[in-house]
Amino acid sequence: MDRLWTDFVNSDYHDWRGGDRSEDRLGKAEWQQAFLKQWQLNAPIPASSEEEGALRNFRNELQAIATRLSDGNTLTDRDQEWLNGMMQEGQVIRRLNTGDEGLNLSLIPVGTQWQQVMAEVAADFAITVVEGDGRRIRICDNTDCRWIFYDDTRSRTQKYCDDKMCGNLMKVRRFRAKQKKDQQQE
């Protein structure tokens, strides 16, 4: 399941098939527009060069925290302070709504700047850690991919960001390596 924060940190794309192609989608206006539309956020497109720099720094820090959590570590006091500082930059309006499942509380972002977007991403990450489990944050076992995801399987054993893409690719690679090894032993 995609989350706001995973979609954001995975804007640093690497070719999961092992090619040399990688790209930083964060600076692309098309990616910015699609990201904002998907998550119902608002900010000026394209982001200014200063905003792009801030977005990259934010992404790098969030990736570092996610990586530490995926290694089994917990949030440090510094991590918490940083997340609190990022979330503080985003103001919200609270609204009570009636939905299919009864009443729910919505937090509607007030700002329409990239700083507000970063606050929403930080808040989504914090919700994941608080309501979920930081140890379920994973980095795809396909070393070419490096995609960060949240393992929401019951068994907590998900290794790949997508079983049909990276999982299947790695299965084929293991099979071919085994075949090659068997042929060399003959």
Rg (alpha carbons) of the chain, rounded to whole number: 19
180 part of a folded domain: no
**Which residue type, as a one-letter code, is found at position 60?**
N
Kindly indicate the confidence band of residue 111, based on its pLDDT and cuts at 50, 70 and 90. Answer: confident
Q: Which pLDDT tens digit goes with each residue over 143-153?
A: 777 778 888 87
Using the predicted structure, report yes or no on whether residue 20 has a pLDDT greater than 80.
no
- Chain center to CA of 98: 29
173 part of a folded domain: no
**Which residue type, as a one-letter code, is found at position 178?**
K
**pTM for the full predicted model:** 0.78
Number of domains in the chain: 1
The per-residue pLDDT for 62 is 96
Kindly indicate the confidence band of residue 69, based on its pLDDT and cuts at 50, 70 and 90. Answer: very high
86 part of a folded domain: yes
91 part of a folded domain: yes
Mean pLDDT (the chain) is 83
Kindly indicate the confidence band of residue 101, based on its pLDDT and cuts at 50, 70 and 90. Answer: confident
Query: Contact at 8 Å (CB) between 75 and 65?
Result: yes
Q: Which pLDDT tens digit goes with each residue over 121-137?
A: 999 999 999 987 777 88
Nearest CA among 122, 65, 71, 64 for reference residue 92:
122
Using the predicted structure, report yes or no on whether residue 167 has a pLDDT greater than 80.
no
178 part of a folded domain: no
* Helix locations, the chain, DSSP H: 4-9, 29-38, 49-70, 77-88, 114-131, 168-185
Q: Domain range holding 23? A: 4-158
Residues facing residue 149 across a β-bridge: 138
Q: For position 27, which CATH number holds? A: 1.10.3300.10
